[in-house]
Amino acid sequence: MKVVGISVDSVEVNHGHTQKMHFTFPLLSDADASVVRRYDVLHRGFGPKGNDIARPAEFYVDANGMVQWVNLTENIAVRARPEQALAAIDSVKSGHRD
């Protein structure tokens, strides 16, 4: 399993954020929001100065590229805790979907 973050911010902004927050996973830039649109999590006009941002979300995408688990929220401060995400992934892998 590999954890990756995706943001509509530029490579430079993501690099600075990764260093500041000491992320141990890659934070990729989706500056044109193509991935954000593909997963239907674009928040039009909700960013600073009314720009488009990604809706807070966590996804578990399996090795075949199929979305197996999604956690969506409207509030940037509300996210799945790591243990919640791992429990959901374990449940999907074991065949028990909640």
Same domain for 39 and 77, yes or no, is no
Could you tell me the pTM of the whole model? 0.74
Same domain for 26 and 73, yes or no, is no
Q: What is the pLDDT of residue 98?
A: 54
Same domain for 49 and 64, yes or no, is no
Longest dimension (CA), the chain: 44
| Number of structural domains found in the chain | 2
Same domain for 49 and 62, yes or no, is no
Same domain for 1 and 45, yes or no, is yes
pLDDT values of the chain reduced to their tens digit, one per residue, 98 residues? 788 999 888 999 999 999 999 999 999 999 999 999 999 998 888 888 888 888 889 999 988 889 999 998 877 777 888 888 889 888 888 886 55
Structural domain range at position 79? 58-98
Strands of the chain (E only): list them: 5-7, 27-29, 42-43, 53-54, 57-61, 67-72
Contacts by 66-74, CB closer than 8 A, 24 or more apart: 67/39, 68/92, 72/41
Q: What is the pLDDT of residue 48?
A: 82
Same domain for 45 and 62, yes or no, is no
Same domain for 66 and 82, yes or no, is yes
Same domain for 66 and 37, yes or no, is no
